[in-house]
Structure 1
């Protein structure tokens, strides 16, 4: 069940966008550039194809990623961060820095 979003609070809106499990990791893994679905699934060990598909669709609807389809056999689909996604990547990188500084050696997490 989704939490209600305070329309006036940018933090709540950002948490609503990236607060799902896997979403920040998808943004992280798209940082180097284009990635195919199978490449993302390989780097995100344990994510189901359905969950990855749902998260990518949600990020696409939010304007964070673009999806490019190529008429090849077999069909090729690539995902990449938009400018909005690149800005969001800064938030994800800040999360990484916080985790490395404050959580890396915390046995309770």
Structure 2
């Protein structure tokens, strides 16, 4: 069996590729790509990687700056979906995003049950 064909190798390469993509495109494009494709992916490791990168983008940009963008409408629902994921690490990243959003005035209108 070749090491390069192992699932761990493929997962690590995919995670690195997503990380490189996030670093080399604008934060808005990265967030859109992660919210559109990453969090809706079937494999749990892909959702975990997307959730981790999305959380890092939210932390880097800041909730205050995100509040005035078109992505602000979708982000609470995406974060809530990730917070209820079956994979524990994905759930953790989603819950961290939900906490950040609920601490901001604009996102207080969302009930935690809606997320």
**Which is richer in strand?**
1
TM-score by length of 2: 0.31
Instruction: Please identify which structure carries the higher helix content.
Output: 2
Query: Normalising by the residue count of structure 1, what TM-score does the alignment of the two structures yield?
Result: 0.32
| Higher relative contact order, structure no. (Cα contacts within 8 Å, ≥ 6 residues apart) | 1
